[in-house]
Chains A and B, each alone.
Chain A
Amino acid sequence: MQRLVAICRLDDIDREGGVTALVDGEVVAVFRTYADDVFALDNFDPFGQASVLSRGIVGTRGDRDVVASPLHKQVFDLRTGLCLDDESVRVAVHPVVVRDGVVHVEAATASAP
């Protein structure tokens, strides 16, 4: 089963900024792009081994929306979670729905221990 968890209002996220959210016990980074698209990734940086991705700089590489890890600057595609500097690495993506100005992130069930 999957369900949507309301995180915050869209206005609570800076355009081209990120916030950290707790989604069913999981730590998730939620980003808002310049075009007001909202994406969610696992907040855990697999390179730096720390919970930091929401605090990275949001920008673009080519026509992809990306975030750069604040620890060592590896860049992740916001849509796919793929690391563009090392394509063998990917962080999990969480589906997002923005409804009535409120950001909802889909929680994966049964993933918690």
Chain B
Amino acid sequence: MSPHLRKRLVVVGHGMVGHRFVQAAVERGLSETYDIVVLGAESRAAYDRVALTSFFEVGADALSLLPSGDYEDPRVTLRLGTNVAELDVASRTVSLDDGETIGYDELVLATGSAPFVPPVPGHDLEGAFVYRTIEDLEAIRDAAARASTGVVIGGGLLGLEAANALRQLGLDTHVVEMNPRLMSAQVDEAGGRILGRHVEKLGLTIHTGVATERIEGEEHVTGITFAGGETVPLDVVVFSAGVRPRDQLARQAGLAVAERGGVAVDDQLRTSDPHVWAIGECAAHQGRMYGLVAPGYTMAEIAVDALLEGAGTFTGADMSTKLKLLGVDVASFGDAHGTTEGSIDLVFSDAVAGVYKKLVISDDGRHLLGGVLVGDASAYGTLRAMVSSRIELPKNPEELILPASSGAPGVTLPAEAVVCSCNTVTKDDIEGAVEGGCESAACVTTCTTAGSTCGSCKPQVKKIVEDYFASQGKVVDRSLCEHFAMTRAELFDVVLVHGYRTFDEIVEAHGRGRGCDVCRPVVASVLASQLNGHVLAPDRRVLQDTNDAFLANIQRNGTYSVVPRIPGGEITPEKLIVIGEVARDFGLYTKITGGQRIDLFGARTEQLPAIWKRLVDAGFESGHAYGKALRTVKSCVGSSWCRFGVQDSVAMAIALELRYRGLRSPHKLKGGVSGCARECAEARGKDFGVIATEKGWNLYVGGNGGAVPAHAQLLAGDLDDNELVRMIDRFLMYYIRTADRLQRTSTWIDSLEGGLDRVREVVVDDALGLGTELEEAMARHVDTYVDEWKATIEDPEKLRRFVSFVNAPDTPDPNISFGSTRDQIVPEASTGPVSLGPVSLGTSIPVGRP
């Protein structure tokens, strides 16, 4: 379609839902026919408002949903800090604050909601805030620095989040709620009481059933006076009394709005004007506004579908929620308040333990309609699935909520029960994945996406997998191989505890037979991680895979490739020339790798020492491209050259690569360092990725490329150089100690009970008290590192094995021959074994010798 025939789609609002809409529009090809113009009122691109409270810990960059600040698709234009003043549906235009007019063919309203500030006297004094944007939080933080007492008005979900934030900022915190209980939308009265008790234990003061008369103060807030006349002195007040849909544009334009606010939309999210759509919190479907992000995302997808003339419809959303608030599990699902006619409540309450559970059951006692869980929400996954699948309740439904019954005894979910409601994965899908070869819950999550979004169903997924195996009479065999009936992590501990130094000691004490290609390299890796001796030491070398045994990567024709280390991808012209000369002189095929270094292919066993002699003499060392070890730390050019860079990513990448070089691990390890949020080093595709912020570094972990790519997740934010190194030290050592063989960091994290949160507990919070030990183990590695290639070429005993034939060390193997493609060598296809004779010798091309 030629440009002048292209249509224009204008999106008003760039919050989470607006962003999701644009993503879906690009993914599904809407930008093939539309130019998309996104108008965002905030100065920042969309960010994760659900995790807003973590802003104080991780900083703004980590919350961003669009760190590069722009969409990759050139047909999408994002204009931030742009306020739309007016919408004219007759002329299909929007007018901006500055008078500019933008025409549209289709318009999507994703304006979200605004905090509701009750019109009490004093609500506009200095020191009064709302809790909605990063700017709000920055202002609250600044004010808290000079304050001692803070009050949050509103004891709902967001109010408690805000209270938690004030508490973290060190304020004596009060929560004021007009309703008789906290979180009145989600929990019932008794549940609210238990919740209140939990919250009070944390040192917060709760005022429920209390109306606010006025905020005291001249210019700045000084206190709050309740309807009863009581006054509490304060320095900071945060309004969190609910939100209102931002529907003013629609109102002015004469579009239909719902009685309680929100732009009225049909099942396809179309407003009363056929070319205007509304999604997210500004929309009202059947008069109802949804204040959760998941329904907003669903709306975004359906609106895109409708614009593509698809048939998808929005039919309301599951408002079930499970969250951890101030350390307390709270969940509500289905008809939590028992509004269904004739419904019966079944309640378990233990005020001492702080646990409250309520089930709402149909009048005939046969079906579960909903419920509330406070203090222990472990049964949430099963119970929610029971509501959505409408299966019959067991004979004694109270067992579902009695203590220690997270497994929900006696309940067998039907195959069609939706276990993961985020991604609509049924029990049948999960069992299918297990039948198809998945042996763990983590594998099921990868294969089916069950549990990959909010994670609340993970215990359920695990149980279904375990039950399935139990029903088949199968035990998941986690033995390394026939020689060791233990996992790699168990083996690691055994070696550590006993202080073993050789394979013989280990296999005699804990194994059987003489090992194999699976366990021998594992033992070599474990010994290397603990002792860091040379991989070709006499009792070690016969444990190594051929790559480690020859310190090079074997290729299809039995030759090897050679990769010298180029830390951070930075190299002088002189060194670059040496690599070129070596490649030329030995006739090696040369290719630049994805890890910012240079790979030289086609080296014969007997050539490796001479090649490495030249490289070591020029100051190169092993790049460990052959090992289950640290490979590279990739970097962008960083602040020294790049006009966008905020930190020196090259220097940091070099420091990290030199620190962890030679570190043996369960699988290969890669790192990356980006000098700004544009992320040119693709650090989030690495096992450990570091991204610069204005204040330091954000550390992401668990990324990889390959067949199952994974995006690294934020572990900790705004770290200084020393903190960053300490966190990576701990993370890598924790991984090396506990991961399975050939398990990348991403699958290792998934396999841990608690996932990334668990890693954060151990690495950042030092919950196991292992921090120092892990750091010391890494320090030992760093202190004892030697370049294994330099050590090899200096040791005749190690060099002895780098020959073509034990009885003809300089005669090349006649089976190796090369052709030529694009002016470089390539392996020639083999037609079977070749004997050495005058004729066969001639088939190999001469290779230069130094």
Contact = CB atoms under 8 A, between A and B. Distances in A.
B554 A16 contact: no
Nearest to A111: B835
B554 A70 contact: yes
Contact of A71 (B521, B538, B556, B805): B556
Given A59-B520, A73-B517, A12 B832 contact: no
Nearest to A45: B558
28 contacts: A8-B806, A14-B542, A15-B542, A16-B542, A20-B804, A20-B813, A21-B807, A22-B808, A26-B833, A27-B814, A43-B833, A44-B815, A44-B833, A51-B815, A52-B554, A57-B517, A57-B520, A57-B545, A58-B514, A58-B542, A59-B517, A60-B514, A60-B516, A62-B513, A65-B514, A70-B545, A73-B517, A112-B835
Given A14-B541, A112-B835, A56 B556 contact: no
A48 interface: yes
A97 interface: no
A56 B806 contact: no
Nearest to A49: B830
Contacts of B839: 113
Contacts of A7: 806-807
B815 A27 contact: yes
Interface string B788-824: 0000000000001101111110010111100000000
B73 interface: no
A43 B829 CA distance: 17
B482 interface: yes
B516 A27 contact: no
A27 B543 CA distance: 24
B813 A27 contact: yes
B680 interface: no
Interface of A: 5-8, 12-17, 19-22, 25-27, 30, 33-34, 42-44, 48-52, 55-63, 65-66, 68, 70-71, 73, 75, 111-113
Contacts of A30: 806
A52 B805 CA distance: 12
Given A20-B813, A43-B815, A68-B516, 12 more contacts: A8-B806, A8-B807, A12-B800, A21-B807, A25-B837, A59-B513, A59-B519, A60-B514, A62-B513, A63-B513, A70-B554, A71-B554
B558 A50 contact: yes
Nearest to B554: A70
Interface residues of B, number: 46
B833 A27 contact: yes
Contact of A12 (B517, B806, B829): B806
B836 interface: yes
Interface string B494-535: 000000000000000000011111011100000000000000
Contacts of A75: 516-517
Contacts of A65: 514
Contacts of B538: 14
Interface of B: 482-483, 513-517, 519-521, 538, 541-546, 549-550, 554, 556-558, 605, 800-801, 803-808, 811, 813-816, 829-830, 832-837, 839
Contacts of B830: 49-50
Interface SS, B side: loop
A50 B605 CA distance: 14
Most B C-beta atoms less than 10 A away, residue of A12, A30, A52, A61: A52
B517 A55 contact: no
Contacts of B517: 56-57, 59, 68, 73, 75
A26 B832 CA distance: 12
**4 nearest A-B residue pairs (beta carbon):** A70-B546, A51-B815, A68-B517, A44-B833
Given A51-B816, A60-B513, A19 B557 contact: no
A70 to B, nearest CB: 4
Given A34-B514, A59-B517, A113 B835 contact: yes
Given A22-B808, A68-B516, A17 B837 contact: no
